[in-house]
Structure 1
């Protein structure tokens, strides 16, 4: 009876120690590949990691030749006038709570 228990315990412990990690690594790897394929199909990429590791897209606005700079946005200027000074805040009593 004790020999049968020890034999079953030995087989289960060896399975958990050596076979289960390999099996889980295989299953998780297949799951990640499946999700990558689904991601690639959803966003129109040919291969799963093409968007992440492929060639970068060409720049939208190539730099102008000859050192000329093109400015697309100029922020509005603040109206000139007397700057408002900080008048101070409201005084709040502090009460120490023990």
Structure 2
């Protein structure tokens, strides 16, 4: 009876305190691995868990722009005055 209670106490201790720590470590590593894999696939610079290189903050009064869309260079875009007119007839 004493061996059974000792075994039950050890089993309870392992399930209550050790298993969560091990699972947290294993799942955390798995998530970091998946984040790295998908981050590389989509071209991200720094994977999960690693700090991204920070750029210096702009000076007061300065604005930092990450993306500037390309300007349209077609001459036809400026001359566009509307589409074709389509007659509308109500059908009853």
TM class by smaller structure: 0.5 to 0.7
1:80 equivalent to 2:79? Answer no
By relative contact order (CA 8 Å, sep 6+), the higher-ranking structure is 2
Unmatched runs of 5 consecutive residues or more in structure 2: 55-64, 72-76
Cα distance in structure 1, aligned partners of 2:69 and 2:20: 47
Where do 4+ consecutive residues of structure 1 move more than 6 Å?
Answer: 53-56
CA RMSD of aligned residues (A): 3.5
Cα distance in structure 2, aligned partners of 1:17 and 1:59: 54
Q: TM-score, normalised by structure 2?
A: 0.57
Cα distance in structure 1, aligned partners of 2:24 and 2:70: 45
1:76 Cα deviation after fit: 4.7
Number of residue equivalences: 73
| 1:40-68 deviation per Cα after TM superposition (whole angstroms, max 9, x unaligned) | 2223333115xxx9998504257xxxxxx
* 1:6-85 equivalences in 2 (<5 Å): 6-49=5-48, 57-61=66-70, 76=83, 79-85=86-92
Unmatched runs of 5 consecutive residues or more in structure 1: 63-69, 86-98
